[in-house]
Amino acid sequence: MVSTFPLPNSVNLSQIRPDIRNLQSELVNWRRQLHQHPELGFQEHHTAEFIARKLQAWGIEHQTGIAKTGIVATIDGKGSGPVLAIRADMDALPIQEENEVSYRSRRDGIMHACGHDGHTAIALGTACYLSQHRQDFQGTVKIIFQPAEEGPGGAKPMIEAGVLKNPDVEAIIGLHLWNTLPLGTLGVRSGALMAAVECFRCQIIGRGGHGAMPHQTIDSVLVSSQIVNALQAIVARNINPLDSAVVTVGELHAGTALNVIADTARMSGTVRYFNPELENAIGQRVEQIIAGVCQSYGATYDLEYWQLYPATVNDVAMAELVRSVASTVVETPLGIVPECQTMGGEDMSFFLQEVPGCYFFVGSANAEKGLDYPHHHPRFDFDETALGMGVEMFIRCVEKFCQR
């Protein structure tokens, strides 16, 4: 898919204003410092300190320790006006980095493999620029630095801690650096951008025994195999083919020896969909199938099923605002990619349930430089040119939204 778009060497950066181009080396520097000190969800202490120090130095009012490690910076423009929030996530992943770069992770087993180090740098650059150009917008911009996007989720506790209140946020925007898109492209879409995420864990309880005497047993391996097969019928036969959904069993564990029928089997998986009407519906079918198959074999089960994040759904008007801004930042007609939906999940979704907003993708892959590994890969890295593009996008969105 990437190869059908223009190559990154043709990226036109003429729309990045000089003040932001001048910030580029700082953006790279911040991102690399953060990259060397990755932290897992709700443990972003070093990251939060790094952010707070900068905000302090720039004279930006901010509050720390929200939902453990979250930060909210508040930047007032010239006089009263709308309140726009910008959200950035700042956590890393439990992955051992395999990149051999000068700025590689210095923490064993932890890596910024999703680009949240870049999101934090972009949000800092945005804060820095806005604090120096308060005359260029009216109202208030709140910049939300959120912990634990990769799980268990920092957006919800930050909302519960009141980050969208006082002053009340009218709309919210956010971005993800996106290696599925090449540098120089922006993915903007109204409606569902990312999927709802549900998870399940199930134990199948049979009766173990001798591998040569199956009639004395209830074979948990056979039962769980039938369940894995049958679960695939949910998407094939219960979901409207015009809707998208995924049921994945990612883990299946059973047995100890080739001649022993396993007493129990354990499986876990994830469910994804866009249409909010499918909330509860797929989970119900998962349980019906597990219960029905177990009953037919005389097995029992223990099922845990939970919703992690709802679908990330963009507001039509806010997506239009971001799209119109995007078309001024990237000029090529291929630059704005509406077909950028993904079954990946995001807890930006909780913010978008509270206030209208738009989450969008900033293409960051550069195949010529080998910077096109997928997110969550031990060799993930992105073209840092995208950092300045991200700041330019945020600033233009602020200037457009905060002029009423």
Q: Tokens 């540098």 label which residue? A: 183
From the CB of 93, what's the least distance to Zn ion, in Å? 7
Closest approach, Cβ 146 to Zn ion, in A, equals 11
Rg for the chain, CA atoms, rounded: 24
In whole angstroms, how close is the CB of 376 to Zn ion at the nearest point? 6
Give the residue with the Cβ less far from Zn ion, 93 or 235.
93
- 161 Cβ neighbours under 8 A, 6+ residues apart: 66, 67, 70
222: tokens are: 């056979």
For residue 173, which of 348, 362, 376 has the smallest C-alpha distance? 348
The distance of closest approach from Cβ of residue 346 to Zn ion in the complex, given in angstroms and rounded to an integer, is 7
* Candidate ranges 108-116, 187-195, 218-226, 302-310; the one touching Zn ion (CB under 5 A): 108-116
Q: Using CB under 5 A, which of the segments 2-10, 113-121, 236-244, 302-310 binds Zn ion?
A: 113-121
Q: How many other C-beta atoms are found inside a 10 Å radius of the C-beta of residue 397?
A: 25
Distance CA 183, CA 178 (A): 9
CA distances from 373 to 2, 101, 365, 383 (A): 12, 15, 8, 11
Nearest to 179 by CA among 366, 50, 33: 366
Give the range of 111-119, 138-146, 151-159, 268-276 binding Zn ion by CB under 5 A.
111-119
Q: DSSP string spanning 242-260?
A: TS-EEEEEEEEEE-SSTTE
Integer CA distances (angstroms), 256 to 262, 300, 384, in order? 7, 20, 48
Q: Which one of the spans 64-72, 110-118, 133-141, 261-269 is the region binding Zn ion (CB under 5 A)?
A: 110-118
- Interaction between residue 111 and Zn ion (CB under 5 A): no
How many chain residues are in contact with Zn ion, going by CB under 5 A?
A: 1
Minimum distance from residue 201 beta carbon to Zn ion (Å): 21
Per CB under 5 A, which region of 9-17, 106-114, 178-186, 301-309 contacts Zn ion?
Answer: 106-114
Show the site string, 372-401: x = touches Zn ion by CB under 5 A, - = not.
------------------------------
Tell me how crowded residue 253 is: count the other CB atoms within 10 A of its CB. Answer: 12
Query: In angstroms, what is the minimal distance from the CB of 344 to Zn ion?
Result: 7
CB of 131 to Zn ion, least distance (A): 26
Using CB under 5 A, which of the segments 109-117, 139-147, 230-238, 291-299 binds Zn ion? 109-117
Q: Is 19 a catalytic residue?
A: no
Active-site residue identified among 97, 149, 381, 383: 149
> Between 114 and 289, whose beta carbon lies closer to Zn ion?
114
Q: Fill in the per-residue mask, 256 to 275: x = in contact with Zn ion (CB under 5 A), - = not in contact.
A: --------------------
Return the number of the residue (67 or 114) whose C-beta is nearest Zn ion: 114
Whose Cβ is closer to Zn ion: residue 220's or residue 312's? 312
With respect to Zn ion, which residue has the nearer C-beta, 252 or 343? 343
Closer to Zn ion at the Cβ: 290 or 337? Answer: 337
Which lies closer to Zn ion via its Cβ, residue 139 or residue 345? 345
Do 175 and 361 contact (CB within 8 A), yes or no?
A: yes
Backbone φ and ψ of 272, nearest 5°? -130, 145
Smallest gap, in angstroms, from Cβ of residue 377 to Zn ion? 11
Residue in this structure with the two tokens 């995420």, named with its chain if needed: 197
Choosing from 39, 44, 89, 91, the catalytic residue is 91
91 counts as catalytic? yes
Residues 360 and 150: their CA atoms lie apart, in Å, by: 17
Contact present, 130 and 395 (Cβ < 8 Å): yes
Q: Which two tokens stand for residue 297?
A: 């074999």
Report yes or no: 305 and 286 within 8 Å, Cβ to Cβ.
Answer: yes
Question: Who's near 16: CB < 8 A, 6+ residues apart?
Answer: 329, 388, 389, 392
Report whether 47 contacts 34 (CB < 8 A).
yes
Q: Which is nearer to Zn ion, 114 or 313 (CB)?
A: 114
Binding status of residue 195 toward Zn ion by CB under 5 A: no
Is there binding between residue 114 and Zn ion (CB under 5 A)?
A: yes
Chain residues binding Zn ion by CB under 5 A are 114
Which residues are the active-site residues? Answer: 91, 149
